[in-house]
């Protein structure tokens, strides 16, 4: 069988499949913002000292669509980044393939090629790459969710998150921590405890009015620059392994701040929470030199001068999304200050739903 042309890999096939009554499998997983403890979930620190993380999922998602086909082909496409990969089942995945890395990792782990059923796969995410919202890990979770639904594997949330971690960190050798996979799978506000191979996810019962207050108080903006989190994380790992004491002490303090932030957020002491965000950001910057840069520092200082009580870059740092805790009568000034420094202020909300997968037959 001839290799399918990549030019044929377009949305017309998906539309035709749906129009003709094909089964369509979909999954979505929520992105997250990390309030405190980020970085303590990264080996080897997490294995030796244990990691504590406080985060929450937001109403932006990674999406996956799978449409089984009878053409004996596997065809994968990212709707965001113009990446495409197509090959015949009887020939197998090309060894030199570099496109669709995350999807390839999941396909390899599940031995989908060996099942003898072709499929068309499409991915899409509600954020740019290097956003600091855990997009890569969230996409892996969504991919697992879609294949789990299609193949009826029956994975539970802990199994899904653990598998996503193994595929991304071990199989694909992408540096990073553990919080993103568990946040995307479980959803909601979570206080996470990690040690070696053990993960304990503690959902926080924050009243609806408390969630609404946090949504109102937090201003989120894209800094205008993306970054490779693996570079920053490698710097952090080096600091820990080389016993850079200022960096190690910062990691320890970051873990302690996650505990403090959990305590005040459960008590509804949100202004104190906002101030702790500032402390957490100041401490996090000591973990690795690439976490911030002059542009980010200037942007954050402008937000603080305009009235933000605290804030931080979400994720590893270096770019992506920044969020600031701001009293309601200073929001307009903070948004203007961020915009003047090149940031793009965005609306968002929290969600308590984690990974979802479903099937549809459209005619």
Q: Which residues are catalytic?
A: 180
Query: Residue holding tokens 């504590």?
Result: 52
**Beta bridge mates, 324:** 219, 311
Do β-strands 51-69 and 189-195 pair in parallel, antiparallel, or remain unpaired?
antiparallel
Residue 25 to residues 66, 248, 358, Cα–Cα distance (Å): 5, 45, 6
Please give the angle made by the CA atoms of 332, 335 and 339, to the nearest 5 degrees.
135
| Cβ atoms of 122 and 77 closer than 8 Å | yes
Which residues fall within 8 angstroms of residue 347, CB to CB, at 6 or more apart? none
């Amino acid at each position: 069988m001839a290799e399918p042309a990549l030019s044929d890999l377009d949305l017309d096939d998906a539309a035709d499949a749906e129009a003709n009554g094909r089964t369509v499998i979909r999954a979505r997983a929520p992105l997250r913002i990390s309030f405190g403890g980020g970085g303590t979930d990264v080996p080897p620190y997490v294995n030796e000292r244990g990691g504590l993380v406080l985060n929450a999922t937001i109403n932006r998602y990674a999406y996956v669509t799978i449409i089984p086909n009878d053409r004996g082909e596997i065809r994968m496409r990212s709707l965001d980044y113009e990446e495409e990969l197509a090959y015949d089942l009887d020939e197998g995945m090309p060894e030199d393939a570099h496109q669709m890395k995350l999807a390839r990792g999941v396909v390899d782990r599940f031995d989908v090629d060996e099942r003898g059923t072709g499929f068309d796969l499409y991915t899409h995410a509600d954020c740019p790459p290097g956003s600091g919202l855990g997009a890569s890990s969230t996409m892996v979770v969504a991919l697992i969710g879609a294949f789990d639904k299609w193949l009826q594997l029956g994975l539970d949330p802990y199994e899904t998150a653990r598998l996503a971690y193994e595929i991304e960190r071990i199989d694909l050798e992408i540096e990073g921590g553990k919080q993103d996979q568990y946040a995307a799978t479980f959803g909601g506000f979570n206080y996470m405890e990690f040690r070696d191979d053990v993960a304990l996810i503690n959902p926080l019962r924050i009243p609806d009015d408390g969630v609404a207050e946090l949504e109102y108080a937090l201003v989120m903006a894209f800094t205008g620059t993306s970054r490779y989190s693996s570079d920053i994380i490698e710097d952090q790992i080096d600091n820990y392994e080389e016993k850079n004491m200022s960096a190690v002490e910062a990691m320890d303090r970051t873990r302690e701040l996650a505990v403090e932030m959990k305590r005040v957020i459960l008590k509804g002491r949100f202004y104190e929470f906002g101030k702790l965000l500032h402390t957490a950001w100041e401490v996090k910057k000591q973990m690795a030199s690439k976490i911030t840069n002059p542009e980010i520092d200037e942007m954050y200082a402008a937000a603080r001068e305009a009235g933000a009580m605290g804030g931080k870059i979400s994720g590893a740092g270096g770019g992506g999304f920044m969020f600031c805790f701001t009293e309601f009568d200073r929001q307009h000034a903070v948004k203007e200050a961020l915009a003047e420094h090149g940031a793009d202020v965005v609306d968002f909300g929290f969600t308590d739903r984690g990974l979802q997968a479903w099937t549809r037959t459209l005619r």
